[in-house]
Each structure stands twice: as structure tokens, then as C-alpha cells.
């Protein structure tokens, strides 16, 4: 139920904001709006007010604004019709929907940054490699702990965030890493792997991610020794660790012998000696830990929070266009796409992690919706805007036959895209995916 409610809430808000943009600008320039609908038919409820019927449809997968004369084949020349208005006014109406989604995204992000959001620690730190996963692209390319990565494919990467942005959109690509090691500058080629259902790029190199205790199991060695939630484990047997796998390997390697853990608690270093116990074929000390420790990121100044929001918006927009470009050229898998099923699952998962995570997801989905609607695909806002712009450049309106053909092509394109995205969504569900041929 959480997934369904989160999906309806998130998509409902985004669709309402999007269609409100079209609606408000249409009213402003004098276009008659016949229907404002949240959801698609069949209609559940409707009420007419001010010449517009406001509806709620049974299918919560989108919405629409029906304007008088918005179909060129049905236009009569009435001054209140969409086609009777100037190209600039029509462009403004079409642009308003995606623009409202982008503005909503910026407002949500600004608010979240002012309230404070949890995000992985160390994202803004220099790219100092502390751990290289075994049999990973990084280990095979020769990257070592202690290396500092300064460039990826010639582009500066001043922080882990910048480097990870490069990696995640480069699945199955070969990148050139520029590394500083022992006062020398070296270059390594690295073949980025594809990981997970979405085939996210994976390099296998990490910053210092010292495990932080999230929970203690009752009457297990860690609790008996006096460890507490929030403790950060920095050493195993006197050896510094920089990744949670080193903790696991260090405990397993001792085969049940007592082990001393170095811990950082409230900036104070301390040690605990404990003896692991055997459970289900493994040596355990009885803790759950945060794989990626987080820090509270908060900007109380509204202007600075807005600047951070604009920076995140710009970053996500750039990544979106990179992925779209890779999809078009066949360099990215269709598994990177998500439709209603994928959005519903993501909305439910983020809702379970708290309101802030849900609104963060909503912000980026709203931005994504705004960007995609600006693409020059027939039937989408961007497609209609492209036709109007081409008519302006040509100095004449296209014939009804041409416009009808454009709509037909757009319908087929959207239908193919919807079926493809749905199939990709279903293939990610194990119980269904095993019956699909891809």
C-alpha cells in the first residue's frame, strides 16, 4: 500500500503542477480551457466551473488540459481557440508545463537544503582512493589505494561527486584516469563495468568509507564489549581500514580468535577487544552498519540554498542529456529507462526512508518530467513547440495533412516508447522477468 500511495501522491503532484502551467497561461492569453483532468479516463468525478470541467480520472498515469481548437483538424477560427492565437502565445502555453516542473524541482531542493538532508559523507572531498575492490575495473587497470584522481578523460574532477558522475554514465566505456602517485602523474585506461538492473557504471574504487554502527544485536560480542550505535570502526587488529569489506575480511581471517577494533566515538578514539561467534557459517560480532555513512547537509541562507539547488538542477540536467545521448546512439542499455512500475517502486522505497527522501525523489522526477517534455517528440510539448518554431522559420503554417501525419507519427513513437518502458519495468521484476525473452 505504501508503494501505491507514494506513487499516486508523487505523480499526482507533478501532473497537477505541469497541467496548471498550461492552464494558467492559456487563461492568461485568452484561450478557452474545456477540460482540466488529473488522471486519464474513465472519469471518476467532474465539476464544471468558469467554463472548464475539472475531472479526476481513474488511471493515475498522467493528466491533460483540453483547450478549444488545440487540434488543428477541429479548429473553427473562434478567437478563444488555441490555433487562433499568435505563435508566441502558443509557445508560452506549451512551455509553461515543463517550466512549472523545473521550477517545482528547484523550490523543493531549495527547501530541502534549508531544512537539511542526509547525503553520503565525503562527496565534496578530493578523489583520494582509499579502497580498491578485488577483481574490479580499478584493480585490473592498476589503480592503488593512496592514488589521487585528478582527471577523467581529460576533464578535471575536483571531488568524488564529479568523479562518480563520470563513472555512472559510462557503463561499458573505457575512460582515461589521470592519477597522482608519489609525486608523479600517471594515466590509466579503465573499462567501466555495468552493474545492477539499471546498468549503472561501476569502477570499483572508493573513498574512505569506514563502517558506522547502525544497530547492535542483543547479547552479541559487540554489545557485550560496550560498543554503541554511531561508533565508527577505524581499525581491525591495529590495521587501519577504509571500507566495510575490510572489517568483514579482518574478522573472518582470525577464525574466531579475539580481535581488537579501533573505534571513533564523538571524535574520541577508543579500542574494544571482542571474540566473534559462529553463526550460519560466518564469524559475527553482532552489528548492522551503514555501508555509506551520511552527513547532514544544511544551508540556512535562502540565497545560498537556492544556489545549491540550481547547481544540483544543472548537474542532473547534464547527466540526463548524457544518458539520453547514449540511448540514442546505442551506447546505453534500455534498462536505464523507468516507467510507471519503476517510478512506483522508487517512490515506495524512498517513502519508506522518510519524507525528505521522498521529496528529494519528487524533485528529481519533476525535473526529469520537465526535461523530457521539452524534447522534440511529436505529441509532447516539445514536439508541438518544434512544429510552431519550424512554421515560424518557414513563414507559413503547415497544411492540415502535414500536421495530421506528424500527430500520427508521434502517436506511434509514444506507443512504442510506452510499451518498451513497460517491458523494461516488468523485466526488472524477478517473478516476471524470467519469462521474458530479453
pLDDT in tens, 322-337: 888 887 787 776 667 6
Residue 212, exposed/middle/buried by CB under 10 A (0-12, 13-18, 19+)? buried
Q: What share of the chain is helix, strand, coil (3-state, %, to 5)?
A: 45, 25, 30
Per-residue model confidence (pLDDT) at position 72: 76
H or E element, residue 164: helix 160-168
What domains does the chain contain, in order, with CATH numbers? Answer: 2-114+359-404 (no CATH), 127-206 (2.30.42.10), 212-291 (2.30.42.10)
Which parts of the chain have pLDDT scores under 70?
1, 197, 333-335, 337, 339-341, 422, 424-438
Alpha-helical regions (H) of 36-136: 87-115
Q: Identify whether the C-beta of residue 295 lies closer than 8 Å to the C-beta of residue 289.
A: no
Q: Identify whether the C-beta of residue 129 lies closer than 8 Å to the C-beta of residue 186.
A: no
Give CA–CA dist 424/286, Å, rounded: 39
Per-residue model confidence (pLDDT) at position 425: 62
Question: 316 vs 169, 309, 345, 387, CA distance in Å?
Answer: 12, 11, 21, 27
Per-residue model confidence (pLDDT) at position 429: 60
First to last CA, the chain: 30
Annotate 179-246 with DSSP letters as a single string.
EEETTEEEEEEEEPEEETTTTEEE--EE-----EEEEE-TTSHHHHHT--TT-EEEEETTEE--SHHH
Give CA–CA dist 82/90, Å, rounded: 7
Per-residue model confidence (pLDDT) at position 119: 84
By annotation, the residues acting in catalysis are 19
H or E element, residue 28: helix 2-29
Other Cβ atoms within 10 Å of 407 Cβ, number: 18
CA proximity to 150, closest of 137, 141, 159, 142: 159
Q: What is the pLDDT of residues 12-52, one digit of tens each?
A: 999 999 999 999 999 999 999 999 999 888 899 999 998 99
Amino acid at each position: 500500500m505504501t508503494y501505491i500511495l507514494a506513487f499516486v501522491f508523487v505523480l499526482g503532484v507533478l501532473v497537477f503542477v505541469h497541467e496548471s502551467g498550461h492552464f494558467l497561461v492559456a487563461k492568461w492569453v485568452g484561450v478557452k480551457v474545456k477540460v482540466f483532468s488529473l488522471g486519464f479516463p474513465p472519469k471518476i468525478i467532474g465539476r464544471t466551473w468558469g467554463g472548464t470541467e475539472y475531472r479526476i480520472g481513474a488511471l493515475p498515469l498522467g493528466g491533460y488540459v483540453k483547450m478549444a481548437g488545440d487540434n488543428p483538424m477541429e479548429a473553427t477560427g473562434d478567437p478563444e481557440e488555441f490555433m487562433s492565437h499568435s505563435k508566441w502565445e502558443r509557445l508560452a502555453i506549451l512551455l509553461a508545463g515543463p517550466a512549472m516542473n523545473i521550477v517545482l524541482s528547484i523550490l523543493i531542493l531549495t527547501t530541502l537544503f534549508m531544512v537539511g538532508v542526509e547525503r553520503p559523507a565525503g562527496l565534496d572531498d578530493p578523489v583520494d582512493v582509499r579502497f580498491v575492490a578485488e577483481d574490479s575495473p580499478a584493480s585490473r587497470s592498476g589503480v592503488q589505494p593512496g592514488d589521487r584522481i585528478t582527471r577523467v578523460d581529460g576533464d578535471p574532477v575536483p571531488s568524488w561527486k564529479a568523479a562518480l558522475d563520470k563513472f555512472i554514465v559510462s557503463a561499458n566505456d573505457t575512460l582515461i584516469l589521470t592519477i597522482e602517485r608519489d609525486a608523479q602523474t600517471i594515466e590509466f585506461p579503465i573499462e567501466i563495468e555495468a552493474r545492477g538492473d539499471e546498468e549503472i557504471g561501476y569502477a570499483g574504487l572508493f573513498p574512505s568509507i569506514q563502517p558506522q554502527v547502525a544497530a547492535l544485536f542483543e547479547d552479541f560480542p559487540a554489545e557485550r564489549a560496550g560498543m554503541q550505535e554511531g561508533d565508527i570502526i577505524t581499525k581491525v587488529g591495529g590495521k587501519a581500514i577504509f571500507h566495510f569489506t575490510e572489517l568483514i575480511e579482518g574478522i573472518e581471517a582470525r577464525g574466531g580468535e579475539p580481535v581488537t577494533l579501533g573505534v571513533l566515538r564523538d571524535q574520541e578514539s577508543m579500542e574494544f577487544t571482542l571474540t566473534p561467534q559462529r553463526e550460519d557459517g560466518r564469524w559475527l560480532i553482532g552489528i548492522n552498519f551503514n555501508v555509506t555513512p551520511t552527513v547532514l547537509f544544511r544551508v540556512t541562507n535562502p540565497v545560498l540554498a537556492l544556489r545549491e539547488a540550481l547547481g544540483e538542477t544543472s548537474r542532473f540536467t547534464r547527466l540526463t542529456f548524457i544518458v539520453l545521448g547514449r540511448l540514442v546512439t546505442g551506447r546505453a542499455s534500455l534498462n536505464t529507462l523507468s516507467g510507471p512500475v519503476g517510478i512506483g517502486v522508487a517512490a515506495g522505497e524512498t517513502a519508506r526512508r522518510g519524507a525528505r527522501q521522498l521529496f528529494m525523489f519528487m524533485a528529481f522526477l519533476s525535473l526529469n518530467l520537465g526535461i523530457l517534455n521539452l524534447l522534440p517528440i511529436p505529441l509532447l510539448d516539445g514536439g508541438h513547440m518544434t512544429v510552431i518554431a519550424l512554421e515560424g522559420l518557414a513563414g507559413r503554417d503547415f497544411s492540415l495533412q502535414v500536421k495530421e501525419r506528424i500527430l500520427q507519427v508521434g502517436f506511434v513513437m509514444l506507443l512504442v516508447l510506452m510499451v518498451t518502458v513497460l517491458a523494461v519495468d516488468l523485466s526488472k521484476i524477478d517473478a516476471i522477468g524470467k519469462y521474458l525473452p530479453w
